[in-house]
């Protein structure tokens, strides 16, 4: 079995990018250790603060954010970072080659119930046409990403990573602390009978998306002529991992709960990295109209609808949305 850094070397990844991935991975091992210790490490529960998204921060959100942020800001190769938990981007080395954006702890509601949670990250090339401390550094479409990945803190700690080639999975061997290559190329089957959507939002969905879901629920007696099963983890990182491992479609469409915020998930550090991982595993990743990776961002914490996973099922959903 190959170590992560052997695979990256064999893949010909820029050594500076490898160094950056090493730093993110180091932070994730620290987080994984604390997650495993749970209550014993004093990492459960909420803080009294809210993040820029207006969400109450969990203790582990803050700990994970601080760990990743502090390690990245020490790296020469980092020009700037952006985090879900920070209001603005933060400049690092003005001559650094790369930008890193991350969601330090996705699926926060799962922290206190010992459920799946994860760290999502994306790496972009730094821009020389804007200052390091400008948020415009991050105003790049997801197609520019040079690496994207997540670390899933589940029964095992798994790193899923692409550096432009295949989407590979690595499992943390806790006996010696290395991530070992366990799946060389994750491949999403084009057809599926599994979907993930928060059905509690049904009454807020648009008419066409509702009709699509109604037809899935009709199973073999409806127009889709096959029985579907539903799974919902409350952590996108767990739901997308399921899709990458056994096919399926993860959907968080636009809804009318809050007119100021028609979509829930963030483009920069949720949509784009997941879209790159899914596309490089043969799946599709769309908003309700366009490939997620083609969106030109307009703000740091921009939100987008997401339909991602098995290619034919994403197409089926799009055909309902666009009629």
Its sign, for the CA torsion 228, 232, 238, 240, is positive
How far apart are the C-alpha atoms of 1 and 29, rounded to whole Å? 19
Q: What percentage of the chain's residues is helix, strand, coil (to nearest 5)?
A: 35, 25, 35
Residue closer to ligand F6P by CB (options 44, 234) is 234
Task: Work out how close the CB of 168 gets to ligand F6P at its nearest, in angstroms, rounded to a whole number.
Answer: 22
Nearest to 188 by CA among 134, 236, 245, 231: 245
Among 80, 235, 263, 318, binds ligand F6P (CB under 6 A): 235
Tokens of 146: 């040079």
Task: Work out how close the CB of 107 gets to ligand F6P at its nearest, in angstroms, rounded to a whole number.
Answer: 4
Of 34-42, 56-64, 136-144, 234-242, which segment contacts ligand F6P by CB under 6 A? Answer: 234-242
Binding mask 167-206 for ligand F6P (x = CB under 6 A): -------------------------------x--------
Task: Work out how close the CB of 80 gets to ligand F6P at its nearest, in angstroms, rounded to a whole number.
Answer: 23
Task: Work out how close the CB of 311 gets to ligand F6P at its nearest, in angstroms, rounded to a whole number.
Answer: 21
Tokens of 293: 């990776």
In Å, how far from its chain's centre is CA 104?
Answer: 10
Task: Work out how close the CB of 256 gets to ligand F6P at its nearest, in angstroms, rounded to a whole number.
Answer: 14
Binding mask 102-131 for ligand F6P (x = CB under 6 A): ----xx------------------------
Q: Is 236 in the site for ligand F6P (CB under 6 A)?
A: yes
How many Cβ atoms sit within 10 Å of the Cβ of residue 112?
Answer: 16
The residue number with the shortest CB distance to ligand F6P is: 236
How far apart are the C-alpha atoms of 32 and 25, rounded to whole Å? 10
Of 11-19, 127-135, 231-239, 287-295, which segment contacts ligand F6P by CB under 6 A? Answer: 231-239
Task: Work out how close the CB of 308 gets to ligand F6P at its nearest, in angstroms, rounded to a whole number.
Answer: 11
How far apart are the C-alpha atoms of 200 and 221, rounded to whole Å? 24
Among 41, 130, 234, 245, binds ligand F6P (CB under 6 A): 234
Task: Work out how close the CB of 127 gets to ligand F6P at its nearest, in angstroms, rounded to a whole number.
Answer: 27
In Å, how far from its chain's centre is CA 272?
Answer: 7
Residue closer to ligand F6P by CB (options 154, 166) is 154
Residue 95 contacts residue 110 (beta carbons within 8 Å): no
Task: Work out how close the CB of 252 gets to ligand F6P at its nearest, in angstroms, rounded to a whole number.
Answer: 6
Q: Is 46 in the site for ligand F6P (CB under 6 A)?
A: no
- Residue 31: phi and psi, rounded to 5, are -65, -45
Eight-class DSSP state of 316: H
In 3-state terms, what secondary structure has residue 262?
Answer: coil
Dihedral angle over CA of 27, 121, 188, 282, nearest 10: -130
Q: Is 85 in the site for ligand F6P (CB under 6 A)?
A: no
Eight-class DSSP state of 291: B
Task: Work out how close the CB of 235 gets to ligand F6P at its nearest, in angstroms, rounded to a whole number.
Answer: 5
Write down the number of H helices and E strands in the chain.
7, 17
Tokens of 62: 């803050």
Of 31-39, 158-166, 203-211, 228-236, which segment contacts ligand F6P by CB under 6 A? Answer: 228-236
Residue closer to ligand F6P by CB (options 147, 274) is 274
β 249-252/284-286 pair status: unpaired
Residue closer to ligand F6P by CB (options 96, 107) is 107
Size of the site for ligand F6P (CB under 6 A): 6
Which parts of this chain interact with ligand F6P (CB under 6 A)?
106-107, 198, 234-236
């Amino acid at each position: 079995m190959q170590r992560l850094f052997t695979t990256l070397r064999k893949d010909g990844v820029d050594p500076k990018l490898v160094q950056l991935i090493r730093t993110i991975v180091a932070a994730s091992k620290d987080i994984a250790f604390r997650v495993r210790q749970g209550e014993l490490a004093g990492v459960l529960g909420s803080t009294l603060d809210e993040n820029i998204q207006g969400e109450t921060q969990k203790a582990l959100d803050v700990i994970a954010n601080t760990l990743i942020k502090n390690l990245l800001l020490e790296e020469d190769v980092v020009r700037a970072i952006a985090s879900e938990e920070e209001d603005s981007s933060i400049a690092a080395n003005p001559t650094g080659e790369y930008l890193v954006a991350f969601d330090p702890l996705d699926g926060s509601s799962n922290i206190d119930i010992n459920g799946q949670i994860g760290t999502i990250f994306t790496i972009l090339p730094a821009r020389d046409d804007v200052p390091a401390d400008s948020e415009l550094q991050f105003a790049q479409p997801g197609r520019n990403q040079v690496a994207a990945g997540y670390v899933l803190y589940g029964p095992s700690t798994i790193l899923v990573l692409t550096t432009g080639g295949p989407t590979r999975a690595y499992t943390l061997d806790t006996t010696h602390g290395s991530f070992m290559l366990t799946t060389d190329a994750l491949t999403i089957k084009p057809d599926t009978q599994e979907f993930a959507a928060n059905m509690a939002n049904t009454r807020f969905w648009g008419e066409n998306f509702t009709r699509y879901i109604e037809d899935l629920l009709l199973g073999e007696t409806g127009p889709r002529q096959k029985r579907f099963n539903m799974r919902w983890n409350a952590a996108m990182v767990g739901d997308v991992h399921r899709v990458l491992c056994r096919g399926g479609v993860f959907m968080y469409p636009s809804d009318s709960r809050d007119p100021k915020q028609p979509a829930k998930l963030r483009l920069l550090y949720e949509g784009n990295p997941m879209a790159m991982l899914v596309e490089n595993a043969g799946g599709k990743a769309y908003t309700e109209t366009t490939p997620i990776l083609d969106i030109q961002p307009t703000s740091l914490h921009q939100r987008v609808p997401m339909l991602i996973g098995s290619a034919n099922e994403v197409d089926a959903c799009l055909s309902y949305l666009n009629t």
